Structure 1
Amino acid sequence: MHTINVCLLAGLLLTGAATTAQSGKPTATLNIGDPAPSIQVKKWFKGQPVTSFEKGKIYVVEFWATWCQPCIAGMPHLSELAEKYKKEVTVAGISILERKTTTLAHIGAFIDSMGKKMNYAVAAEDSNFMAANWLRASGERGIPMAYVVDRNGRIAWAGLPKLLDNVLPKVIDGSWDIKATDAARKEAARLTEIDNSIIPVLNSYMGNPGKPDSALIVINQLLAKDPGLKYYPRMAHYTIYSLLKTDQEKALIYIRELLKAVPEPPFRSVTDAISYMSEIRKVTLIKGLYEIAAVAYEEQLERYPWSMDFPATYDNIAALQFKAGNQEKAVAAETRAIEYAKKKPGFPADKLAAFESSLQQYSSKTN
């Protein structure tokens, strides 16, 4: 018996997202091409303090917090970039949005514990200045978040730190197009607002079995007006569920395109939808769908390990591979599920026994 964590109705998956959509993102008053706001911090813990943006120099201002697991996971990569471009770029990581109980001493101890994994200038914000005048002012809510300040002191780019590899070389050699970047960012904000607004519209077509054909008609109407919406998270969610119920081959093609089209695909929508169809609705799917769901699970393990249940996820991967007829991959995944389960303190004996039973099944039969 493998573990599946899915919602019974597709629409329910977006209940939390609907709340976010209603509240909306902060209105952006800081845009690409604008002069960078000043830096105000309470304390510099490491590296050369950045007190102003000197003309002719390039800076990366990155925001993080001690509680932010994605921030921590990205620190070694940011350190690599700081080293690689140290002659041209100054990197400054600034702690913001810390919990009220987090002291400067706690932040300092965390920075010390990171050592060379956090090998750039590091500071903690003073009051709420950096969060308000950088993050909120640019229309953002979450961290990690990075800003590139060009040689003229302008905001040249803003986004996830992991995407800096594609930005810094062009800012350094002067080929970065600030106007195009600003236009693209504003268009993305417009499409995000529309993407959030489709939740109440398309939720009415979800369910078991729902009205997937009608949902696809509405989706096509929306895309005719705004083709750029095709791979946005909410649109992708509804498209996947609707296609899985109407045309599995088209669903597989769309999911493959989706995983290639955006830097951070909605992997959870892929895995939840395929698990829902397979485990809840008991629909037999084509081989490629089981396999691509396994890939989506593996991507989540690789990209977001802090949020994943490794034993359960490998157990899910094993079940998918077995249904796809890939016995060796199923055995390998279930073996890993058992290994992680045995290393996890307090792991339930009955779940471990279920994993071992599945391994025996996968080892002795072909699908």
Structure 2
Amino acid sequence: MKIYAKALSVLLLSGLSATGLHAQAPAPPVKDLGEPAPALTVGKWLKGGEVDGLKKGKVYVVEFWATWCLPCIAGMPHLSAVAHEFKDVTVIGCSILERKTTDLATIEKFVAGKRDTMDYHVAVDDGSKMADNWLKAYGERGIPFAFIVDKQNRIAWAGHPMNLDKILPQVVSGKWNVEKAAADRKDMQRLSKIDGNEVVTTLNKYMGRPGNPVGALARIDSFLKVEPGLKYYPKMGHFTFVALAKTNEAKALPFAKTWFEANNDAPSYATVTDAVNYLEHPSPEMYAFAAYCYQAQIDRYPWSMDLKVTYKAMADLYKKGGDEKKAAEFAKKSDAAPAGRPAH
């Protein structure tokens, strides 16, 4: 006992708990839209010239990317188009969260190789300052991700860069309501937690073959009576489509289209292409829609698709749906396509 008491006193004096763990300070609160923009603490400007701080009276887009991030790379031409369209807006792309093996020279070579597809100001993080003070401070972890800084030097908006076209004109014209956007974002973050946790754990038990789709729809209705805003959230939409596809295909297809539109930055096409494989009697329309979802993935995420395999899957879907002409067309595409995913 004396030995234990002495050891415990050493732990306490050294700032450790009896379990051997350092006492941890509570995490700082997540920042809100409308707060002053953080400083630009970049390590080096790589393209487009140095941006000497964020000045009041100007609008800025600050976007985050990495050399390993294929969706970031795919979105670079779009960000260049935004920079060309909005001449009075300063567009900045900052490399963050790079792998430990990726040095500055590698990033510089990457940026130089992009030429006109990266036609805006480009910088690299100073350690992790930009990642910490911007992305993580606002409760985000994934990239690509963008912020808009308004003329009052406030964070006016934060989200996927593909949505800049809808928001930026409102910020530039002064018509953007930052207070409403902040309230909407807080509610979105609240609902996202419910969608990713309670919705998944509750509705998973109704899935499977054949599962209990009627029970799932009843449970979904009870969720939506309390939180109607959840209807088109990613996980809720997934379970709703699968349950409808098993019980009422006429409702499943229009639901999926609306759900995709509500999640335009990352529509879950795979929900449809996966579900069609375990439906008992899909209609020709369902087979055709699943093939459309494969094509949509090719169009949006070409770097992630094995074209030979995907075209073969599309040919099989069209054949099952009775469209022999389309089946033959995509079988030929599969034969002609190279094996594996595209090189980058």
Does the aligned pair in 1 maintain the 2:230–2:236 contact within 8 Å?
A: yes
Q: Deviations over 1:251-287 (max 9, x none)?
A: 223223223333132111111111232xxxxx22112
The aligned counterpart of 1:310 is 307
Does the aligned pair in 2 maintain the 1:145–1:160 contact within 8 Å?
A: yes
Q: TM-score of the superposition, structure 2-length normalised?
A: 0.87
The aligned counterpart of 2:235 is 234
Q: Deviations over 1:18-55 (max 9, x none)?
A: xxxxxxxx986221111000011111111121231111
Q: TM-score of the superposition, structure 1-length normalised?
A: 0.82
Q: CA deviation at 1:323?
A: 2.1
- From the superposition, tell whether residues 342 and 217 of structure 1 become closer, same or farther in structure 2 (CA, over 3 Å): closer
Does the aligned pair in 2 maintain the 1:27–1:138 contact within 8 Å?
A: no
Q: Deviations over 1:92-141 (max 9, x none)?
A: 11000000111110000000000111011111101111111111111111
The aligned counterpart of 2:267 is 265
Give the match's secondary structure for 2:102.
coil
Does the aligned pair in 1 maintain the 2:306–2:339 contact within 8 Å?
A: no
RMSD (Å), alpha carbons? 1.7
Give the match's secondary structure for 1:133.
helix
Matches within 5 A, 1:310-329: 310-329=307-326
Q: Deviations over 1:296-327 (max 9, x none)?
A: 11111111111111111111111112222222
Aligned amino acid, residue 287 of structure 2: Y
Matched, 1:56 2:57: yes
The aligned counterpart of 1:131 is 131
Distance 2:248 2:341 in 1: 40
Distance 1:298 1:315 in 2: 12
The aligned counterpart of 2:147 is 147
Distance 2:261 2:28 in 1: 30
Structure 2 unaligned blocks of 5 or more: 1-26
Matches within 5 A, 1:59-98: 59-86=60-87, 88-98=88-98
Aligned amino acid, residue 314 of structure 1: Y
Does the aligned pair in 2 maintain the 1:61–1:93 contact within 8 Å?
A: yes
Of 330, 334, 346 in structure 1, the residue corresponding to residue 331 of structure 2 is 334
- From the superposition, tell whether residues 47 and 253 of structure 1 become closer, same or farther in structure 2 (CA, over 3 Å): closer
Does the aligned pair in 2 maintain the 1:27–1:139 contact within 8 Å?
A: no
The aligned counterpart of 2:21 is none
Distance 1:57 1:131 in 2: 23
The aligned counterpart of 1:287 is 284
Does the aligned pair in 1 maintain the 2:41–2:130 contact within 8 Å?
A: yes
> When the two structures are aligned, how many residues end up with a matched partner?
314
Distance 2:331 2:178 in 1: 49
Structure with higher Rg: it is 2
Does the aligned pair in 2 maintain the 1:82–1:120 contact within 8 Å?
A: yes
Distance 1:342 1:311 in 2: 6
Distance 1:344 1:180 in 2: 43
The aligned counterpart of 1:276 is 278
Does the aligned pair in 1 maintain the 2:214–2:243 contact within 8 Å?
A: yes
Q: CA deviation at 1:233?
A: 1.2
- From the superposition, tell whether residues 27 and 75 of structure 1 become closer, same or farther in structure 2 (CA, over 3 Å): farther
Aligned amino acid, residue 291 of structure 2: A
Q: CA deviation at 1:336?
A: 1.2
Structure 1 unaligned blocks of 5 or more: 1-25, 278-282, 346-367
Give the match's secondary structure for 2:62.
strand
The aligned counterpart of 2:209 is 208
Aligned amino acid, residue 164 of structure 1: L
The aligned counterpart of 2:101 is 101
Q: CA deviation at 1:341?
A: 3.4
Greater RCO, CA 8 A, separation 6+: 1
Does the aligned pair in 1 maintain the 2:304–2:341 contact within 8 Å?
A: no
Aligned amino acid, residue 267 of structure 1: Y
Task: Tell which deviates more after alignment, 314-323 or 100-109.
Answer: 314-323
The aligned counterpart of 2:173 is 173
